[in-house]
Every structure is written in C-alpha cells, then in structure tokens.
Amino acid sequence: MRRVWILLIASFLYAETIDCTKVFEERKSELLKEIEKIDEARQSFEALQAATNTLFEKQKNALNEKETALAKTKEEILAKEKQIALMLEENKKLLAQIEAKKNDKLDETYIKMKDAAAAAIIEKLPVHEGAAILFGLPPKKIVTNYGKNGSSNCLGDYTKASKKGPPFVENNQTKE
C-alpha cells in the first residue's frame, strides 16, 4: 500500500508538474505574442520615422533649391539695375550733348538771320523759349533784336525771364 501511496503521490506530483509546464508553455506563448506585437510596433515606428526623415530631407532640399534660385534671381536683378543705371547716366550725357548742339545750332541760325525776321520769330515763341534763345545770342544781336521787336510787353517778359537765368522752362521750373 505504501507503494500505491507513493505511486499516487508521484502521479499527483507528476500531474502538477505537467500542469506547471503547461502553464509555463502557455505563458511563454503569450509572452512571445506580446514580443511580436512590440516588435511590429517598433518596426512600424522605425518605418514612420524613416519616412518622416525622408520627407523632411526632400522639403529641405526643395527649400535650398528655392533659396538658390531666389539668390540667383536677386543677383540678376541687381546686375540689371546697375546696367540700367549706367544706361540712364549715358543717356543723360547724350541728352545734354544733344541739347547743347541744338542750342548751338539755334544760336547760329538766329545769329545768321536778319534782325527783323529773328525778332518776329522770337516774339511768337513762348517767353521761356524766347529768353533761352536771346540768352545764347551775343549782346549786339540781343540789342538789335530788342530794337526790332515791336511789342514792349514781350521785351519786359524776356527781360524778367533772362534775369531769372537758365534753365529757361515754363514758369521757370527746373528740368528733371
């Protein structure tokens, strides 16, 4: 009987160990499933992080390209502004030369004209233009033109405009 009891106790203990082993195996499988879930989550996170980093790099590269394009455009605009400023300065010089030649030609023309004809033309011109022509003539020619000019009002206007001096523009405003 003792053997039966030992056998019974041994079988009971063996059954308990089987149950413990079974529990441990079940728990092991549950832990493996949890580890797989954690691993999947970690892989998803790493994939998301990699995608985010890739997108960030793309945006950074695009921004750098835009900045480079803007810098290039700015340089082109500055170069064009300098070129325009140089052209404008050159045009002002050319315009001044043209004005000087035009005034010289007008002076030569009025000097060569007969006094009565010159006086008649100057009388019909606006005051600022007539004063500019008279200002360029030699003093002897101015006196003879004043003498031939019939209108005393015009003489007074020319004298006032001449006193203000060049540049002779309407209402004695300066040219820009």
70 and 133 within one domain: no
Over the stretch 34-80, which tens digit does the pLDDT of each residue have? Answer: 999 999 999 999 999 999 999 999 999 999 999 999 999 999 999 99
Statement to judge: residues 20 and 66 lie in one domain: yes
86, 6: one domain: yes
Q: Can you give the residue range of the structural domain that contains 135?
A: 113-176
Do 34 and 118 reside in the same domain of the chain? Answer: no
67 and 123 both lie in a single domain: no
Q: Mind spelling out the 3-state secondary structure of 23-87? A: HHHHHHHHHHHHHHHHHHHHHHHHHHHHHHHHHHHHHHHHHHHHHHHHHHHHHHHHHHHHHHHHH
Query: Residues 87, 117: one domain?
Result: no
The three-state secondary structure class of 128 is: helix
Residues 87 and 133 in one domain: no
pLDDT under 70 in the chain at which residues? 1-3, 5, 7-8, 10-20, 115, 139-176
Q: How far apart are CA 44 and CA 54, in angstroms?
A: 15
Count of structural domains within the chain = 2
**Predicted pLDDT at 84:** 97
Burial of 46 (0-12, 13-18, 19+ CB in 10 A): exposed
- Residue 74 located in a structural domain: yes
What is the predicted pLDDT for the residue at 146? 63
Give the per-residue pLDDT at 175.
40
